[in-house]
Amino acid sequence: MMKKALALTAALLSSSVLADVIVEAPYARAVPPGQTNSAAFMTLNNGDKAVSLIGGSSSAARVVELHTHTHKDGVMSMRQIDKVELPANGEVTLEPGGLHVMLIGLKEQLKTDQQIDLTLNFSDGSRQVLKLPVRSVMGGMKMSHNKGEGHQHKHQN
């Protein structure tokens, strides 16, 4: 267990690892100006004790919620969930169109190549503080990306 924790030290700002959860490839979705919500995605690799992800916080957003997507009558919608259960030795992936960490009330626009912090809270009382790169994610939002538009100087807020 210590070995895993030490291997991740470089990727974490700080951690007090009770749950033996390895967070792989976390990232947040870049958003266009004016968009107030975003989402974070990652793969959670659990150790030999079942635990749940029960929430989180970030200095980049007012509220952090756990969400999933549901299909109902051909309509895809998001809804909040209490927790993401991580079975012992299980792997759960949070990805676009599925489970995600919702970042609500962004304090500033999330731009590609920026980094944000995200603290994950687990059911055993442990936390992990992550630093997430912001990436553009296709789907759900504007798909067009016109290189011909040139560089315009816009207000950031």
Binding residues with Cu ion: total (CB under 5 A): 3
Output the six-digit token pair for 28: 């947040």
Q: What would the x/- binding string for Cu ion be over residues 88 to 117, using CB under 5 A?
A: --------------x---------------
User: Interface with Cu ion includes 78 (CB under 5 A)?
Assistant: yes
Closer residue to Cu ion, CB minimum distance, 5 or 78:
78
Q: How far is CA 83 from CA 10, 21, 33, 103, 114, in A?
A: 27, 15, 30, 15, 28
The one-letter code for the residue type at 133 is: P
Strands 61-72 and 51-57: unpaired
Closer residue to Cu ion, CB minimum distance, 19 or 102:
102
Query: How far apart are CB 52 and Cu ion at their closest, in Å?
Result: 18
Query: Which residues neighbour 156 within 8 Å (Cβ) at sequence distance 6 or greater?
Result: 33, 108, 109
DSSP state of 62: E
Query: How far apart are CB 95 and Cu ion at their closest, in Å?
Result: 12
Query: How far apart are CB 41 and Cu ion at their closest, in Å?
Result: 11
Query: How far apart are CB 103 and Cu ion at their closest, in Å?
Result: 9
Q: What are phi and psi of 59, to 5 degrees?
A: -75, -10
Which residues of the shown chain bind Cu ion in the complex (CB under 5 A)?
Answer: 67, 78, 102
